[in-house]
Amino acid sequence: MLEIKNLQARVEGKAILKGIDLSINAGEVHAIMGPNGSGKSTLAQVLAGREGYDITDGSVAYNGEDLLDLGPEERVREGFFLAFQYPVEIPGVNTTYFLRAAVNALRDHRGEAELSAVDFLKLMREKIQLLELDESLLKRSVNEGFSGGEKKRAEILQMALLDPKFAVLDETDSGLDIDALKVVAGGVNHLKRVDNAQLVITHYQRLLDYIVPDYVHVLVDGRIVKSGPKELALELEERGYDWIIEEQVA
């Protein structure tokens, strides 16, 4: 589904990604872990198509298409989704209106009729229960005044509405207490199917207690230095990252 080859990217002249290779198939959940500054979020942003990243080498094939050639909104329409580490506030723009615009942009692309306000509300009510979100949030401006946990849950609500084929979750666990974490993880697990895939970026192993990955990759200084089964996450939790870095140097 996703084939990243030798991906290299710079920000303001500084190399951040130094050759990432990663292959993800439908039905799989991959986790990327790594210390601060290793390039985890950069990878997420580059995959989502954010400007300001200079891609100097490598390729990303997404269902056979060149992902990097698509604009960010085109990627979304092809089933790509990024759950933001820091969801953005948009004052004055009603959350329901925003979500409906997003869903209809996608439907329009697929040649489906726009959802009426009534049908959309029905769909949304069904999805918010999944995230145990308070319906009143949907009447407020996008992310404005949401608590950290509400923002993250709202991200997963958007994921549920857009029903992506490939989702990247960028530190979705940060700032969540254990109850919120369970809800968010439950939502993500609910969305998992054999024909879609997820890439979970996290600093801590605790998220992986709830979203169980098929593979764990360790990102250090812009490279994936170790990959393994889910048990690798536990080892990292116990021993930290230093031993891997030392292994590398050795």
Nearer to other proteins, 17 or 162 (CB): 162
Provide the CB-side half-sphere exposure for 113 (13 A, CA).
5
Structure tokens at 160: 């549920």
- Closest distance of CB 233 from other proteins, Å: 27
Which string of DSSP letters, residue by residue, matches 216-236? EEEEETTEEEEEE-THHHHHH
- Closest distance of CB 113 from other proteins, Å: 16
The Cα–Cα gap between 116 and 43 comes to 36
Nearer to other proteins, 33 or 161 (CB): 161
- Closest distance of CB 82 from other proteins, Å: 5
Torsion angle in degrees (nearest 10) through CA of 191, 71, 215, 7: 180
- Closest distance of CB 114 from other proteins, Å: 13
Nearer to other proteins, 14 or 110 (CB): 110
Which helix (H) or strand (E) is 33 found in, with range?
A: strand 29-33
Residues interacting with other proteins, by CB under 8 A?
Answer: 48-52, 70-73, 76-77, 81-82, 84, 87-88, 90-94, 97-98, 101-102, 105-106, 109, 141, 158, 162
Nearer to other proteins, 108 or 247 (CB): 108
Nearer to other proteins, 44 or 244 (CB): 44
- Closest distance of CB 44 from other proteins, Å: 10
Which whole-number Å values give the CA distances from 167 to 28, 75, 144, 197, 222, in the listed order? Answer: 11, 11, 24, 7, 21
